[in-house]
Chain A
Amino acid sequence: MSSRGSAWILAVAGLAGACSMTLELSAVRLVAPWFGTSSVVWTHVIGVVLLALSVGYWMGARLSRGANPERTLGIALLLAAGATAWLPALAHPVASWFRPAGIALDEAAELLQWGSLAAALVLFLPPTLLLGCAPPLATEILQRRSDRSAGDSGGRVLALSTLGSIAGTFSTTYLVLPALGLTRTYLGVGVLLALTGIWSLVQGRGPTKGALGILLLPLLVALPVSRSRNPAAPEGWRVLDQAESAYQSIRIVESLEPDAPFRRLQVNEGLDSFQSVWQPEPGLLPDGYYYNLFVLPVWWSESAGPWRVFVAGLGAGTAWRVLEGAMPAQVRLVGTGAEIDPEVVAMGRRWFDLPASEPDRRVLAGWDARAALASQVEPFEEIVLDAYANQMEIPAHLCTLEFFEEVESHLAPAGWLAVNIGGFGLADPVVESVAGTVASAFGTRVLAVRVPFSRNCILFARRGAEAPTPGSEAWFVSDAGQSERLSALSLEGTWRWFEAGGIGPILTDDENPIDALQWESIRRGRESWISGH
């Protein structure tokens, strides 16, 4: 066999590897509007893909013993092309079937687990299984045509398939998805697989034109009609803008109330959460928004100069907007913010009045919060930690003892850390564990406060000092409106002190069960509303 003759089959193996990785990496994005992109969803998608590939390899091994493995390979690739091309259209009905509309975050835990697994099985098992047939068939073809040993043929196919997978991995995240979006990515993969399948059929001299037409029919029908559809905007809201970034699906929704326009930035939204909010005037948001509590440290400190704030998880800049409109008049906000997703920053500039180039507002777009903080030289009066991933997960590296020690080292003396945590009350396992970890890092007590009309809590810690005790003289401030809110926060049951080495496990870079704690929090969820602990 000529090297050109063996090159095509190795190219097919490489392409199948690339397509399977594109399919896998896009898969989480495809179901994200319904199930999010938590580690559970990733686990299910990867697990299903590996299961499908495993069975596919086995099937391919069996099928490779036939008289015409080229033809079998072509048929498998054409079927995979059809199954892949229909994924955008099928995602909405399949995912909606498993996840009814209007599910709140605190009731979704079990459904997210089972629903995401079921959706992954229905949607991604068939095309991946068919793609799994390709490597053994390619190995067989190579061996028959070139008289190479089984090991030599298998090794070459594996090498090319893995190289293809690497290419598929990087190109999907950095190039294909941001440039083409989900629908065109899947349709493109379908077309590529179909062309490869046809080439394999030509090499195998079959099947007939009629049979080829039947095999191509699913793809040809899918091309004009298969389109991905995200869940509709919540009732009373309209979608202003949406985009696919390297990290997530993003959309801006605006309330339909003409007198009080209000915007939210949602990421991978299928549930009831949001990443940033905007109202026309800077300042405090309505009751229930945790951002309002970020302004308390500046009032408690009675500062008169510049107030340097670092926001880890800037989003579209809501924390800054609340701070600048609700701080004492004599204080000037000097903000630095880190946001890992540059597309979120771009959306913030387009729709949320996020400043582009003001000297007092420095946006570190594309920066991980921990790396961004480590790069800062000047100390801060306040560091706000508002970083969430996958709608409900605090990123593991942003809630460890080592990270909070780093945070403390970047604070001015008596500077503040304010942490936003989603949790069900002050006995929530996530709240207990993160608060205990912060207290251990700072060596002082940490105050946890429940946000009124919300399931969020805010932790306040200080470098070398403590937050004022709720209800004490120091608790209330000179602003009447703030003091009225502080009155509500000083009621028994709405706040709690946490000591170093508290109740929950101390989270470290080495040992961090935050994922398990977050699922436990959601599982216990509503029961704790009644029991109070």
Chain B
Amino acid sequence: MDLRALKPGVLLLACALSFPVRARGEERPRRFEQALAATDQEPDATSRARARVEILYSAGDLPGALREALAGLRLAPGDRILLRRALELETALRLPELARAHSQELERAVRRDVLDDEARLWWEREAAALSEAARKLQEHQARLGTAITRARWVCVVFLAGVLVASAALARSRPTPVHRA
């Protein structure tokens, strides 16, 4: 699976990730650690979850980012930003069931939330694109399931054929041997 195909985040916390990188002997460049620690200061749980998702994503920890997004969604099930990021991660990590559920949830959230025209248009496009990706992932999963079923059946049919042929050979009466 090529996880690098995942789109780069657009919600990077510029302030949280802007710790200067320093050479050894000076302050250690612990930008991701410090950024994560900084999120503890955020009183709002949803904002904190959003921030942690972005930081973990930037660090390349996609499963960790997804777990953080799912934890955030348990607190704020209709949060568009968390839903969008969770959907991107679920598509990248190929988790069709979660992606399907969250794509529906995102579409509902976009319809429900009060947004200005420009934001609504953007979110509708985004939700549609992500839903399409989730749908393709589901189709892919269905194709995979069909292929496994097909392969199983072919194995069963062939092996049954061999058994039947063997039984027929065993039951047939030997013909007399022709000698010249």
- Chains A and B belong together in one complex: yes
**Using a CB–CB distance below 8 Å, which chain A residues touch chain B?**
51, 55, 58-59, 62, 65-67, 97-100, 102-107, 110-111, 114-115, 117-119, 121-122, 125, 144, 272, 286-288, 425, 450-455, 471, 473, 476-478, 480, 483-484, 486-488, 490-491, 493-494, 526, 528-530, 532
Q: From DSSP, what is the main secondary structure of chain B's interface residues?
A: helix
Q: Which residue of B lies closest to A529 (CB)?
A: B63
Q: A480-B22, A487-B31 are in contact. Are A529 and B148 (CB under 8 A)?
A: no
Q: Judge whether A118 and B30 touch: CB under 8 Å.
A: no
Q: Which of B23, B31, B64, B94 contacts A106 (CB 8 A)?
A: B94
Instruction: List residues of B (1-57) whose CB comes within 8 Å of A's CBs.
Output: 1-4, 6, 21-25, 28-33, 36, 56
Q: How far is the CA of A490 from the CA of B159 in the complex (A)?
A: 53
Q: Which residue of A lies closest to B149 (CB)?
A: A114
Distance in angstroms from A279 CB to nearest chain B CB is 14
Chain B, residues 81-96, CB within 8 Å of chain A (1/0): the string is 0000000000001110
Q: Judge whether A532 and B63 touch: CB under 8 Å.
A: yes
Query: Is B120 interfacial (CB 8 A cutoff)?
Result: no
Q: Which of A105, A288, A491 contacts B61 (CB 8 A)?
A: A491
Q: How far is the CA of A493 from the CA of B95 in the complex (A)?
A: 20
Q: Judge whether B148 and A453 touch: CB under 8 Å.
A: no
Q: Which of A103, A118, A121, A532 contacts B144 (CB 8 A)?
A: A103
Q: Judge whether A491 and B56 touch: CB under 8 Å.
A: yes
Q: A65-B174, A65-B177, A526-B94 are in contact. Are A453 and B151 (CB under 8 A)?
A: no
Q: How far is the CA of A450 from the CA of B154 in the complex (A)?
A: 40
A-B contact pairs, 15 of them (CB 8 A): A65-B175, A98-B147, A98-B150, A100-B143, A105-B1, A106-B94, A114-B155, A125-B162, A144-B180, A452-B59, A454-B4, A476-B24, A487-B31, A488-B58, A490-B32
Q: How far is the CA of A290 from the CA of B151 in the complex (A)?
A: 34
Q: Judge whether A491 and B64 touch: CB under 8 Å.
A: yes
Query: Is B169 interfacial (CB 8 A cutoff)?
Result: yes
Q: A118-B155, A483-B29 are in contact. Are A62 and B24 (CB under 8 A)?
A: no
Q: How far is the CA of A484 from the CA of B21 in the complex (A)?
A: 7
Q: Judge whether A144 and B30 touch: CB under 8 Å.
A: no
Q: How far is the CA of A106 from the CA of B178 in the complex (A)?
A: 58
**Using a CB–CB distance below 8 Å, which chain B residues touch chain A?**
1-4, 6, 21-25, 28-33, 36, 56, 58-64, 66-67, 70, 93-95, 98, 140, 143-144, 147-148, 150-152, 154-155, 158-159, 162, 165-166, 169, 172, 174-180
Given A122-B154, A453-B4, A493-B61, 10 more pairs with CB closer than 8 A: A66-B178, A115-B147, A117-B151, A121-B155, A121-B159, A473-B28, A484-B29, A486-B29, A491-B33, A493-B64
Q: Which residue of A lies closest to B60 (CB)?
A: A452
Distance in angstroms from B71 CB to nearest chain A CB is 11
Q: Judge whether B158 and A272 touch: CB under 8 Å.
A: no
- Chain A residue numbers with a CB within 8 Å of B172 are 62
Q: Judge whether B1 and A106 touch: CB under 8 Å.
A: yes
Q: Judge whether A66 and B175 touch: CB under 8 Å.
A: yes
Q: Which of B95, B150, B175 contacts A529 (CB 8 A)?
A: B95
Q: Judge whether A483 and B21 touch: CB under 8 Å.
A: yes
Distance in angstroms from A209 CB to nearest chain B CB is 24
Q: How far is the CA of A206 from the CA of B80 in the complex (A)?
A: 79
- Chain A residue numbers with a CB within 8 Å of B31 are 484, 487
- Chain B residue numbers with a CB within 8 Å of A480 are 21-23, 29
Q: Judge whether B150 and A97 touch: CB under 8 Å.
A: yes
Q: Judge whether B61 and A526 touch: CB under 8 Å.
A: no
Q: Which residue of A lies closest to B61 (CB)?
A: A494
Distance in angstroms from A115 CB to nearest chain B CB is 5
Q: How far is the CA of A59 from the CA of B165 in the complex (A)?
A: 9
Q: Judge whether B29 and A287 touch: CB under 8 Å.
A: no
Q: How far is the CA of A59 from the CA of B94 in the complex (A)?
A: 48
Q: Which of A65, A118, A484, A526 contacts B151 (CB 8 A)?
A: A118
Q: Judge whether A104 and B94 touch: CB under 8 Å.
A: yes
Q: Judge whether A121 and B154 touch: CB under 8 Å.
A: yes
Q: Which residue of A lies closest to B179 (CB)?
A: A144
Q: Judge whether B23 and A530 touch: CB under 8 Å.
A: no
Q: A118-B151, A121-B154 are in contact. Are A488 and B32 (CB under 8 A)?
A: yes
- Chain B residue numbers with a CB within 8 Å of A102 are 140
Q: A111-B151, A122-B158, A487-B32 are in contact. Are A455 and B179 (CB under 8 A)?
A: no
Which of B151, B155, B166, B169 gathers the greatest number of chain A CB atoms within 10 Å?
B151
- Chain A residue numbers with a CB within 8 Å of B36 are 491
Q: Which residue of A lies closest to B174 (CB)?
A: A65
Q: Judge whether A453 and B62 touch: CB under 8 Å.
A: yes
Q: How far is the CA of A532 from the CA of B59 in the complex (A)?
A: 16
Distance in angstroms from A100 CB to nearest chain B CB is 5
Q: Which residue of B lies closest to A451 (CB)?
A: B60
Q: Judge whether A453 and B147 touch: CB under 8 Å.
A: no
Q: How far is the CA of A115 from the CA of B152 in the complex (A)?
A: 8
Q: How far is the CA of A117 from the CA of B156 in the complex (A)?
A: 10
Q: Which residue of A lies closest to B67 (CB)?
A: A532
Top 10 A-B pairs, shortest CB-CB distance:
A452-B60, A488-B59, A114-B151, A118-B151, A288-B4, A118-B154, A121-B158, A478-B24, A104-B1, A67-B178
Q: Which of B61, B93, B178 contacts A65 (CB 8 A)?
A: B178
- Chain B residue numbers with a CB within 8 Å of A471 are 30, 33
Distance in angstroms from B130 CB to nearest chain A CB is 18
Distance in angstroms from A482 CB to nearest chain B CB is 10
Q: Judge whether B166 and A455 touch: CB under 8 Å.
A: no
Distance in angstroms from A168 CB to nearest chain B CB is 24
Q: How far is the CA of A111 from the CA of B148 in the complex (A)?
A: 5
Q: Which residue of A lies closest to B29 (CB)?
A: A483
- Chain A residue numbers with a CB within 8 Å of B174 are 62, 65
Q: Judge whether B28 and A476 touch: CB under 8 Å.
A: yes
- Chain B residue numbers with a CB within 8 Å of A473 are 28
- Chain A residue numbers with a CB within 8 Å of B66 are 529-530
Q: How far is the CA of A532 from the CA of B165 in the complex (A)?
A: 50
Q: Judge whether B177 and A110 touch: CB under 8 Å.
A: no
- Chain A residue numbers with a CB within 8 Å of B148 are 110-111, 114-115
Q: Judge whether B4 and A483 touch: CB under 8 Å.
A: no
- Chain B residue numbers with a CB within 8 Å of A487 are 29-33, 59
Distance in angstroms from B74 CB to nearest chain A CB is 13
- Chain B residue numbers with a CB within 8 Å of A103 are 144
Q: Judge whether B60 and A530 touch: CB under 8 Å.
A: no
Q: Judge whether B3 and A454 touch: CB under 8 Å.
A: yes
Q: Which residue of A lies closest to B31 (CB)?
A: A487
